[in-house]
Structure formats: structure tokens, C-alpha cells
Amino acid sequence: METRLDRYDGAREKKIALLAELIADSNNIVFLGGAGVSTESGIPDFRSGDGIYSQDSGISFRPVDIISHTFFTEHPKEFFDFYKRKLCYPNAKPNKAHMALCRLEKQGKLKATITQNIDNLHQLAGSTTTIELHGSVFRNYCMMCHEPYSLDYVISSEGIPYCSKCGGMVRPDVVLYEEHLDHQNIDRAIDFIEKTDLLIIGGTSLTVYPAATFAQFLPHDRVVIVNKSSTYLDLQAMLTIHDSIGDVMDEAIPQ
């Protein structure tokens, strides 16, 4: 959804030029991203019209209920059936947003990429300062002996994946509904945000907590929002761009 201002001739170009200027004037940048960063890699988001919550789960339960701790423990077979079909994209590749952020990190300007995504695409692009708030589908472990397992092991397992060493159930290292985020990751994210001189928020509608509240830890108002739909911070941000996160970041952070 674009704003009326975005429709004016040259408005988009001026906004991207302003973003590039803000980046040039900053040396301690933090990026906070959500599912919209990965949609351009073919991974659906959750809450849009075509998102996972709007799709048929393939079983007689709602997607939003399936990815909960209660459902996982009570119906593991159905959980993994949905999980493998809807949440795992082993062949997805980084898009222009991931690559632009990697360039910004290599320039020494981007100090942290805080992501709500579980797809490992920031790391595949080359980023080394990624904080994964919700874990990663590429990390899996036995719930009994904690033996680590790959995503390929989980996907290739028929039904529920079990540990080859002790027989325990293998689960993905992702945060399900009703589960707590790693407090160390939250503390690290807040620490970076408290020190940043520019916070870029992209590909997120800022409706998932606690990430939605991270901006309150900023000691200033230097916030940029890049998202196709509106967020509650749009009117408070220094700059809001309702456009493709990949296109905007690629143009604002040239090769």
C-alpha cells in the first residue's frame, strides 16, 4: 500500500535519495526485519492475503494453531506434516534486500541485522551479525539427548523425525507460539538498538511482539520504515517508504 505522497512525480526517487543520505551520515546502523524481507525470495509471509494464515493447512486445523507449542506436543505428526510443507524452503535464495544489507555490513556501517525470520537467508547472503529472534529451520535437535540435526534430515524423515542415537523426537530450533524467545537474543537486540544512530525497519508490519516494541529503546527519532503496508510507527518515523524492500535497499545501497 503506497501513500498519496508516494504517487507524486519523483517522490519515490527523493525518498530513496534521502535514505541513501541518512545511511551515508550514519556509522552505527541496525536493521530490524520481518517476513516481508523474504517474500521476494518466494517465501510467503503470515498475515497478508496470500500469507500462510490465509492458506488451507491441508488438515483440519488452522495454521495459526498448528505452529503452537500445545499443538506440537499433542499432535506432532500433523505438526511436521504442515511444517515441512509450509515453513521449510531449503532451496530459497537471498534476494536484493539480503544482498544490500550484506554490502552495508561489509562497509562497516551495519552493526546488526535483527530478524524475525527463520530461513537463514541473511547468513546465506554473507551477513555475520544476524540475530535470529525466532530461531532457524536449519537448526534442529533431539529433545532427549540434544544431538543436532540438519534441515535435510528433518525433511527426508517420514512423518516425525527421530534421533538416530537415542530415539528421541527431533524438533526444529524455532520459537513456536506459547514459547519464550531466547532472552539473550532479546538483550543483544536491545543493546544494539540503544547504541544505533539509525534504525531501519523493513518488511514487517510491526504487529509481532516483542520486536514491535524495540523502537522504544531508541535514544532518538532516527527511524526509517520500508514496508509495503502501513505500520503504527509510520507517522513517527523520519522517513517512510511503502515499496518493495528489495528494490529500495538495492537502490539506496549501491554496488
CA angle (31, 46, 93) in 5-degree steps: 60
Q: Tens of pLDDT along the chain (255 residues)?
A: 444 445 555 788 999 999 999 999 999 999 999 999 999 999 987 666 565 655 555 666 888 889 999 999 999 999 999 999 999 999 999 999 999 999 999 999 999 999 999 999 999 999 999 999 999 999 999 999 999 999 999 999 999 999 999 999 999 999 999 999 999 999 999 999 999 999 999 999 888 887 888 888 998 889 999 998 888 888 889 999 999 999 999 999 988
* Closest by CA position to 2, among listed 207, 185, 228, 156: 228
Where in the sequence is the domain holding 35, given as residue range(s)?
1-43+94-134+181-255
pLDDT at 62: 85
Query: How big is the chain, counted in residues?
Result: 255
**91-142: pLDDT as tens digits:** 999 999 999 999 999 999 999 999 999 999 999 999 999 999 999 999 999 9
Residue 164 lies in a domain: no
pLDDT at 1: 41
CATH assignment of the domain containing 214: 3.40.50.1220
Residue 30 lies in a domain: yes
Residue 163 lies in a domain: no
Helix, strand, coil content of the chain in percent (nearest 5):
40, 20, 45
Whole-prediction pTM: 0.90
Residue 208 lies in a domain: yes
CA angle (84, 151, 80) in 5-degree steps: 30
Domains: count for the chain: 1
- What is the DSSP secondary structure assignment for residue 87, as one 8-state letter? T
Residue 26 lies in a domain: yes
Active-site annotation holds for 69: no
Residue 154 lies in a domain: no
Which one of the listed residues 98, 122, 134, 242 is annotated catalytic? Answer: 134
Residue 54 lies in a domain: no
Backbone dihedral region for residue 135 (phi beyond 0: left; psi -120 to 50: alpha; all else: beta) = left
pLDDT at 61: 80
> Are 234 and 209 within 8 A, CB to CB?
no
pLDDT at 3: 47
Residue 2 lies in a domain: yes
